[in-house]
Structure formats: structure tokens, C-alpha cells
Amino acid sequence: MDTERPLSANERIKLASNLLRGTIADGLTRTETGALADDDTQLTKFHGFYQQDDRDLRAERGKQRMEKAFSFMVRMRVPAGILSPKQWLKVEKLAVERANGTIRLTTRETVQFHGILKGSLKPLMQGLHADLLDTIAACGDVNRNVIATADPWRPGLHAEITGLARDLSTHLLPRTRAWHEIWLDEEKVSGEVVEDEPILGRTYLPRKFKIAVALPPHNDVDVFAHDLGLIAIVEQDRIAGYNVVVGGGMGMTHGEPETYPRVGDVIGFCRPENAIDVAEQVVTVQRDYGDRSNRKHARLKYTIDGMGIDHFAALVNERLAVKLEPARAFAFTSTGDRFGWAMEADGSAHFTLFVENGRIRGRTMAGLHKIAELNVGRFIMTPNQNLILADIPAASRTMVDALLREYDLDLPSSGLRRNAMACVALPTCGLAMAESERYLPDLVTLLEDELERFGLREDDITIRMTGCPNGCARPYVSEIGLVGRTPGLYNLYLGGSRDGTRLNKLYRGDVDGNAIVGILSPLFESYAANRLDGECFGDFAIRCGAVAKTVAGLDFHDNT
């Protein structure tokens, strides 16, 4: 750890916060403003919410000298993304009564509520808690929601890894009672705070920390994009243990090459009974060695690149009771979801529902309400912003199927659309430089026309868009990535692999929608004519770029 450089402002705020309490409770009582105190807006992240303002209204309200249209975004903690039908109904009720009437499924298997006014925060938190849900550590410099493969095929293995996700989440939670005190009115610890943070430390981690658990051959979680990934190794139908991947991350800043996306490195293998210790020690090494001066350089990926992967692995091993073994073989095939019905041997079934960019409202919400009222199965949110109605018993399948049809929840989509993801961006995200969720569906419609012309409509091709370079839809590991630069303009990346193991590359900077279609159309044509057997679009793009630009004349740049 560098002790010479001054600590970042957030470190000061955390230290002075009395274990994440700050003056949040007081701020909630102040009715003269829709906002909270500045320092508290950093602390609220640890409680699972962000202060935002409606950016569509910002200029007009500024002109009128009015306060910004403040509201809050609340993110739930749902390890492995699993909700009961009853919990789903509660989420919907709170979205309608306390937020903007929509449920937003995120790229990390949880729900975000948007547009919550200050006075609704407490009822919302209490409503969640009444159904055994919470928002603790959903954001902030802590271990975030732990995600695990959403696909419930192979139920025994799925149960084991989702159980691990839950245990990891619980084990790495902050110990402070601040959340319970502020939101549930739990009696305050009198006088000096007596809790301690044995794992995270009293100033928590230098930056956010994310864990994903994958079950090959499915890499729906994008395990290489996380600070820590665990890849289940299945031998004789049992989980023998997990390969340990460290140092993935997507965020970068335009024009700052010292910031970059990175795919994680595999550093070894651990037995199932040691997985939690491995996670704890990776977290504690990052706690002790991460950069607390410069938040743009504070993620684990930079800690690792600073000291070298071998040194990092050695530090983790030193702290482990049982050392890592050599990594074992594994293979991924895709990062996408499997849509439609999938049957289990016992007659039960799962239905994976396409939810465009994760936003649930209107008829989709009404149909899911009816299905949840049947009170069968489970709702599993996928890391691709979709939803699986899992474990539907044979006796209920016809009824669920009828509701899916009645509410148009089973309509087919093109291969490109069903593999598309967009981050939230405008109007709520304070960091957005361009549209994303509100624009990608229209761009996909234009691209579908081109794909149709070349007979590629049904081909799975991943396309991901973000409104800024932070990478919330993991655009740097998709086959086609679009990253917002300024309103209407995007950087276009090509060449991610279908299995999520390879970063794509910057292909063209500052292109608008028409230019994007103009660039991709001949590439689609060339792909249709010249692809190798089974070759996916991302691999084709790389092959064209690497092999003397013969097929499509691709000219790649480095993606930093």
C-alpha cells in the first residue's frame, strides 16, 4: 500500500461515517429538499441506493432556478438472482407504489427501482424486509450481489452453486447494523459503536468488488469480467471444486489509457469446502493492497497488474489455510440465455423469457403478475437481463403457457435482439454520455433488416451498448460493443468471443446509428458468405482483422 499519496475523499467519508451511518437518518427527515447531504450520498451506496436526478428535466429546471428533480435508485441484493413468486409480487407492488412503476432487471441478476422520492425510501426498504429481502451492500466499496449461473438445468449442480453464491454473499456482508437501524428502526447501539468489520475493515474496500460463480459450459455470468470468478469443475456429475479467476473488470475512461477493461486470470483450483476462504483472502489482499488514493486505479485488476499476477497469487496463498491446487480443464460455449421451454426428466419445466434490456412494465408486468399469483416455481433473473420461470410443475405448465401467450410473453425475437443488452443510461444515470436502453432497441431493428437480407436473422450474435465507458452491460466482451461518447455517437468494438473469454477491439470511433448500420451491413454480408463452419461473428471479425484484411478489410485498433 502506498502511504505517501493522500487518501481519496471517499476514504475520509467512510472513516468519519461511524460504520456507514453518516447523517443519513437526519437527512431523511429534512423535507425542504429532495436530496441528502453530499457525503451521505456516497454512504447510501453501501445501503443499496444512489441519489439521481431526472436528466431530461435538468436544463429546464436549471433555467427556472428550481432544485434538480431528485429521486433515488434502489438496487436489491439477491444472491444468484432467485425470488419466490411471493417476493416477485412484493417487488412489483413496491415498484408501482413507491417507484416509477417499472422493475429493472440488471446485468447482475437483481432488480433496480428508479424514481423513488426521499419519503418513499423507508417504506420501500421495510416492504422488502418484510419479505426477507434487502439492499445491503448492493452498491458501495464492498462485495456486491454475488451472481451465479441462472440456468437451472442440472438442478443438483445449480442448487449447489447458488447455495455457494448465497453463502459468499452472507459471509462477506458488512457487519455494521447501520442498515437495520436506519431503515428498520432497530434500536441504536448506544455510545461508541461496538461492531467491527473483521473482513472488510472499518474503511471497507478501496472500491467495489464483484463475484460470479459459473457452471460450464454456460458462461452466462461472464465470469472473466468479475474481480473474482469461480468456475465449477464437474467430475462424475459432482462439483469437484472451483477454478479461481481474479482481476476481471470492464470500466475505463475515454482518453485515459491507464484505465482499461481486463479479463480475469485463472490462478488455481480450490475444493468446494475452501471456496469461501479463497474469496475472503482475495478480498483481504485487495483490502490491504488496493489503491486508496486514486479511485480510478482502485479495482482489483489494477492491484494485480501493479504487483504481477504471480505475486498476487502468492499473497493469496500465504493467507489460505489450504493452498490452491493447479487449475483444471474447463470449456465454455456461450454467454447467452436459452429461451423458451426446457423440460426436466420429472416433467417439470423452465421457461426463459426475453425481457428487452431488463425493463418490465405494462403488459409484461401484468402477465408476470398473473403467473406469480399461481404461486408455483421460482423467478430467476439472468445476468443477461432476462427472466427464467423455473421449476414449473407439470400440472401447472399448461396454465403458465396460456398466460405467456395471452400476454405476448413468448414472442420470438431475432438472434441479435435476444442477445442484446443495454445499460440504463439516460435519463437516470448521472454518468451517461449517450442513450443506451432507450436507443438500442431501435438500432437493433435497423440491423435486423440487414441481417434478414443476408439470411442471418436467426443467428446468435451478441451486441451490447452502454451510455459511457464504465461498461455496465459488459460491452468489451461482446461480439459487437457500442460505447457512448457523446449524445448520438458511439465507439464501435468488434471481435469478442461467444464464450466471453476474449476482449473485443475498438474498430471505429464516434459513429452514429446510420454509420453503425453502414459499417456492419457489409460485414454481415461477408460473414454470411465467408464464415467457417460454426464460426461465430466475433471470431470471424478477428480472423478478418488478423488475416491480412482479406475478407472484410477490417482495421483494428487496441481497445484501450
Active-site residues, by number, are 75, 144, 208, 210, 423, 429, 468, 472
Q: How far is the CB of 422 from ligand SF4 (least distance, A)?
A: 8
Q: How far is the CB of 335 from ligand SRM (least distance, A)?
A: 11
CA 86 from centre of chain: 24
Evaluate whether 142 touches 10 at the Cβ level (below 8 Å): no
119 φ, ψ to 5°? -65, -15
The least distance separating ligand SF4 from the CB of residue 515, rounded to whole angstroms, comes to: 21
Shorter beta-carbon distance to ligand SF4: residue 90 or 474:
474
Q: Is 430 a binder of ligand SRM (CB under 6 A)?
A: yes
Which residue of 14, 21, 108, 350 would you call a contact of ligand SRM, by CB under 6 A? 108
Peptide bond into 427 cis (omega under 30): yes
- Name the residue with the smallest CB distance to ligand SRM: 251
Q: Is residue 139 a contact residue for ligand SF4 (CB under 6 A)?
A: no
Tell me which of ligand SRM, ligand SF4, none is bound by residue 250, counting a contact when its beta carbon lies within the kind-specific cut-off of 5 to 8 angstroms.
ligand SRM
Query: How many other C-beta atoms lie within 10 A of the C-beta of residue 186?
Result: 12
Given the rule CB under 6 A, which of 101-109, 317-325, 409-417, 465-473 is the region that contacts ligand SF4? 465-473
The residues pairing with 228 across neighbouring beta strands, listed in sequence order, are 211, 246
The listed partner (ligand SF4, ligand SRM, none) that binds 94, CB under 5 to 8 Å by sort, is none
* Smallest distance, ligand SF4 to C-beta of residue 254, A: 11
Q: Which positions from 407 through 426 interact with ligand SF4, judged by CB under 6 A?
A: 423-425
Of 206 and 471, CB closest to ligand SF4: 471
Beta bridge partners of 230: 213, 244
CB of 106 to ligand SRM, least distance (A): 3
Q: Please report where in the chains the cell 468456475 appears, as a residue.
A: 231
Q: Does 431 bind ligand SF4 (CB under 6 A)?
A: yes
Return the one option of ligand SF4, ligand SRM, none that residue 467 interacts with (CB less than 5 to 8 A, by type): ligand SF4
Provide Rg for the chain, Cα atoms. 23
Number of residues binding to ligand SF4, judged by CB under 6 A: 13
Residue 469 near residue 253 (C-beta atoms within 8 A): yes
Instruction: Sketch the per residue contact string, 178 through 217, with ligand SRM: x for CB under 6 A, - otherwise.
Output: ------------------------------x-x-------
Q: Shortest gap between Cβ of 432 and ligand SF4 (angstroms)?
A: 4
3-state secondary structure (DSSP) of residue 120? helix
Q: Is 470 in the site for ligand SRM (CB under 6 A)?
A: yes
Q: Which stretch binds ligand SF4 (CB under 6 A): 31-39, 317-325, 462-470, 499-507?
A: 462-470
CB 520 within 8 A of CB 480: yes
106 binds, among ligand SF4, ligand SRM, none (CB under 5 to 8 A by kind): ligand SRM
Neighbours of 438 (CB within 10 A): 15
- Which of 361, 437, 356, 364 lies closest to 100, judged by CA? 361
Q: What is the DSSP letter of 9?
A: H
Q: Which uninterrupted H or E stretch holds 51?
A: strand 49-53
Q: Is the distance from CB of 304 to CB of 244 less than 8 angstroms?
A: no
Which of 8, 44, 87, 110 binds ligand SRM (CB under 6 A)? It is: 110
Whole-angstrom CA distances from 534 to 108, 259, 540 are 29, 34, 10
Q: How far is the CB of 173 from ligand SF4 (least distance, A)?
A: 24
Q: Considering the complex, state which of residue 332 and residue 540 has its C-beta at the smaller distance from ligand SRM.
A: 332
Contact criterion met (CB below 8 Å) for 481 and 243: no
Three-state SS annotation for 166-210: HHHHHHCCCCCCHHHHHHHCCCCCCCCCCCCCCCCCCCCCCCCEC
Dihedral through CA 183, CA 185, CA 191, CA 193, nearest 10? -40
Site membership for ligand SF4, residue 429 (CB under 6 A): yes
Among 241, 471, 475, 481, binds ligand SRM (CB under 6 A): 471
Which of ligand SRM, ligand SF4, none lies near 462, with the C-beta cut-off 5 to 8 A by kind? none
How far apart are CB 471 and ligand SRM at their closest, in Å? 4
Residue 180, exposed/middle/buried by CB under 10 A (0-12, 13-18, 19+)? middle
Angle between helical axes of 362-373 and 397-406 (0-180°, round to 10): 160
d(CA 323, CA 310): 14
Per CB under 6 A, residues contacting ligand SRM are 50, 52, 73, 75, 106-108, 110, 112, 144-145, 208, 210, 225, 249-251, 299, 358, 385, 423-424, 428-431, 470-474
Per CB under 6 A, residues contacting ligand SF4 are 423-425, 429, 431-432, 436, 466-468, 470-472
